[in-house]
Structure 1
């Protein structure tokens, strides 16, 4: 989504590359502290984590914060009536 390499993410999170690679293969068995650290780095770079549940947002996932916070139109909602 951001185009980060494991090395870049490791550097920014101050975690070993091996930890980043382990998170990529099996986040369910990952160290909670490492997972929270990586999440914090991603959020700083503009990623918004969406919770699962019965809300109208469509369930769990991720998206860029700027779509959620600045009132801009998401790409899939662009059409001739809102094309400026």
Structure 2
């Protein structure tokens, strides 16, 4: 089960506003705010829509106890072997995303 704190953290890690996440998940901003306050009273379809957007953008939700003794958390998905990114010497304004 995903927690409200995980949702808030995932959105923050991605630099998304509540409005942007609402737009991508096709939900009202009030639903995003409600999920980030109390996920336990949320509609399952709304939670699934938000989770799908966040996971598509590269967030992994970790259950309590994953990767050691820690609690629930989030992290970015590992890159594939094909995704080396952009080398620092090749960074410029045209590839700044």
- Normalised by the length of structure 2, the TM-score is 0.61
Q: Determine the C-alpha separation between the residues in 2 that align with 1:13 and 1:54.
A: 27
Higher RCO structure (Cα 8 Å, ≥6 apart): 2
Q: How does 1:66-81 map onto structure 2 within 5 Å? A: 66=78, 70=80
Compared with structure 1, are the counterparts of its residues 9 and 56 closer, same or farther at alpha carbon in structure 2 (3 Å cutoff)? same
Unaligned 5+ segments in structure 2 are: 1-12, 82-97
Contact 2:21 2:50 survives alignment (8 Å): yes
Q: Which residue in 1 is equivalent to 2:51?
A: 39
**In structure 1, C-alpha distance between the alignment counterparts of 2:36 and 2:68, rounded to whole Å:** 28
TM-score, L = length of structure 1: 0.70
How far apart are the structure 1 equivalents of 2:77 and 2:38? 25
- Alpha-carbon shift at residue 57 of structure 1 (Å): 6.8
**Equivalent residue runs for 1:21-32 within 5 Å:** 21-32=33-44
Q: CA deviation at 1:55?
A: 5.8
Q: 1:70 to 1:25 in 2, by over 3 A?
A: same
How far apart in 1 are the matches of 2:67 and 2:58? 22
2:72 to 55, 60, 81: 60
How far does the alpha carbon of each residue in 1:10-62 deviate from its partner, in whole angstroms, 9 at most, with x for none?
00000011101111111111111101110000000000011224763734211
Report SS of the residue matched to 1:36: helix
